[in-house]
Each structure stands twice: as C-alpha cells, then as structure tokens.
Chains A and B, each alone.
Chain A
Amino acid sequence: MTIGSVYFFLCAIACIAGALVTVVARNPIRGALGLLLTIVGIAGMYLKLHAQFLAAVQVIVYAGAVVILFVFVLMLLGADAMERPTGNRSPVARIAGGIGIAAIVLFTAYRAIQVYSRATNGHFPSLSEDFGSVKSVGKQLYSEALAPFELSTALLIVSVIGAIAVARTGHKRTALSPNNLTSAHRFFGGPVEPRDAAQPITKDSTL
C-alpha cells in the first residue's frame, strides 16, 4: 500500500459513505451533510487525478453554494421537510426498479473495465507539468470552449431569474384551515409577514 492508495481509499470511502447516508437518512439535514461528504470526497479524487482547478471549483460551487442552498431550504421548511411514513403504496416496485438500475449500471461498468483492461491496460500515462492547472484549463476554456462558456453565463442568469420568478409569492393572503397549518403557524402562532422594505424600522413598527 502506497500513500496514494491510502488516499484513494479514504476518498472512496468518504464518497460511498456520504452517498449512503444521503439515501438512508430520515432527517434531510443529515442527507445534506452526507451530500457534503460525497462532494468533498470527489474533490479529493480530483486532486488525485491532477485536476486542481476542478477540485477548487467543486469545493466552491458544490460545498459552498449548492449544499448551503439545500440547507437554507431545509431550514425554511422546518419540520415539514421531514420524512413521513409512506402510506398505502408498497415500496416493492420502487426497490425492484432501483436494483434494476443498479444492475444495469454495474454491468456497464464491468464491461467498460474489461474493455479498458484489454485496450490500454487502463494505466494512467505520465503527465506534463501543467496538466489540470488553472492556466491550461483556462486556455482551453477561453479558446476552444469560448462559445459554451459565454452561453453558460446566460444559462446561470436565466436560471436565477427563473428561480426568483417561481419562488416569489405575490403576497396573496389565503385563509388556512386549522388542520392545514404551516410550520410558521405552529412556531410563531400565525403567518410570518415580510417587513415592508420601504418603511424604516421604528420603535413602534412590528416585525
């Protein structure tokens, strides 16, 4: 066992354990932390594969933005985000479908491993010094991949505007029946109204 193999094993165990925690967790917060463990493990794999720039992007975008967004939404939903016991539907069909997908994917991987064992022996070649560095990735990003790079900025801005358009309320008042209370009602004894941003906070203003 070299030190590289030990590192690979640790990252692989982090990935698999995090993914299993995400799938199994009853509490979605634990699921988000499992996702975080998977993402950090994959960032470690990227370092092992000489993709330093992608490892940094992975940690910044996934661990820093996506997981935090998940945790925000979980906090917003509160206790309503918890798993509820499944009702009348049997889980047998779902588990069978899941095992079918796993069998197909693992068989494909087995075939791929066989093919690469024969063709190139799958052994990683030695590398030049700047493989995976910010300089070499950026050079390709701004020359060959310039059009998709610019289009991805458009995708991000459209998705953010779309997210705001979908998530905003329009502030419609709807009467709630007692058996239809949200967690805001349970915790605060009534609906939580957003403060009017045009009004300055004064002593007698209610939040």
Chain B
Amino acid sequence: MTPLSYHVQEYVLLAALLFSIGGLGFLIRRNVLIQLMCVEIMLNATNLLLVAFNRLYPSSMTGQVFAFFVIAVAAAEAAVGLAIILGFYRLRNSVHSDDADILRH
C-alpha cells in the first residue's frame, strides 16, 4: 500500500470537505461573525488546492504565488468585513444577518 499524502487526490478530497463545511456554515448560521469565519475557511480550502496542484506540477511556483495573493485579499476582506459588522451593530444593535433588512422595507 502506498502511503497517504503522496497523491493530489487526498488534498482534493480534504479541500472539498473543508469548502463544504464552510459553505454549509455560511448558509445555516445567522451570526455574521460566524459567517465571515466560514468565508475564511472556504478561502483556505481553495488555497490548499492551489498549493497541492503546484506540488503536482512543480515546474513553476505560480500556484504558491497565487495563494499568496489570495491570502492578501483575504486579509483585506477580513478588515473591511469586520468594519462593516461594527457599523451594522451600531445601526441595528445586532450581529444577526436576519436583522439586515432595511432594504426590504
């Protein structure tokens, strides 16, 4: 039996599991902070795929450089997202996405 973690398939499966858990959490939770954390989990899953496929085709470092940019974008997104959550809390005194319904009324 060949040892685990020497094929790209294990990483594809793990990244798909992580992405599914993140997407599930984004849909079933109503706390915007938890939803933002689930977005971070999904970004991390795609980053893992980028790095794993770069390991499969190691002629250039494009996958790792791309993952680096994804990390930079994720950091910017977390800063802006948390600021928006603070503004939303100041407006509605709540961090539940069900309360973000001003445009509906």
Interface size (B, Cβ < 8 Å)? 75
Q: Which of chain B's residues has its CB closest to A5's CB?
A: B4
Partner of B24 from A23, A77, A125 at Cβ < 8 Å:
A23
B17 near A: Cβ within 8 Å? yes
Are B68 and A137 in touch, CB under 8 angstroms? yes
If over half of B's interface residues share one DSSP class (helix, strand or loop), that class is named, otherwise mixed; here it is: helix
| Distance, CA A49 to CA B57, complexed state (A) | 12
Chain B residue numbers with a CB within 8 Å of A69 are 78-79, 82
| Distance, CA A195 to CA B47, complexed state (A) | 42
Are A76 and B3 in touch, CB under 8 angstroms? no
Partner of A116 from B4, B8, B75, B87 at Cβ < 8 Å:
B8
Chain B residue numbers with a CB within 8 Å of A45 are 11, 14, 48, 51
| Distance, CA A167 to CA B61, complexed state (A) | 38
Please, what's the 1-or-0 string for A78-106, where 1 marks a CB less than 8 Å from any CB in chain B? 00110110110101001101110110011
Asked whether A73 and B87 contact (CB < 8 A) given A98-B24, A155-B72, the answer is no
Q: Which of chain B's residues has its CB closest to A176's CB?
A: B93
Chain A residue numbers with a CB within 8 Å of B93 are 80, 180, 182
Please, what's the 1-or-0 string for B6-42, where 1 marks a CB less than 8 Å from any CB in chain A? 1111111111111111111101111101101110110
Q: List 27 A-B residue pairs with CB atoms under 8 Å apart, sorted by A's residue number.
A: A15-B14, A16-B17, A16-B21, A19-B41, A28-B31, A28-B33, A32-B37, A45-B51, A54-B67, A54-B68, A54-B71, A57-B68, A61-B74, A62-B44, A66-B40, A77-B33, A77-B95, A80-B89, A101-B23, A105-B20, A109-B12, A112-B12, A123-B7, A131-B61, A132-B61, A155-B72, A156-B75
Interface, chain B (partner A; CB < 8 A): 3-25, 27-31, 33-34, 36-38, 40-41, 44, 47-48, 51-52, 54-56, 58, 60-62, 64-65, 67-69, 71-80, 82-87, 89-90, 93-96, 98
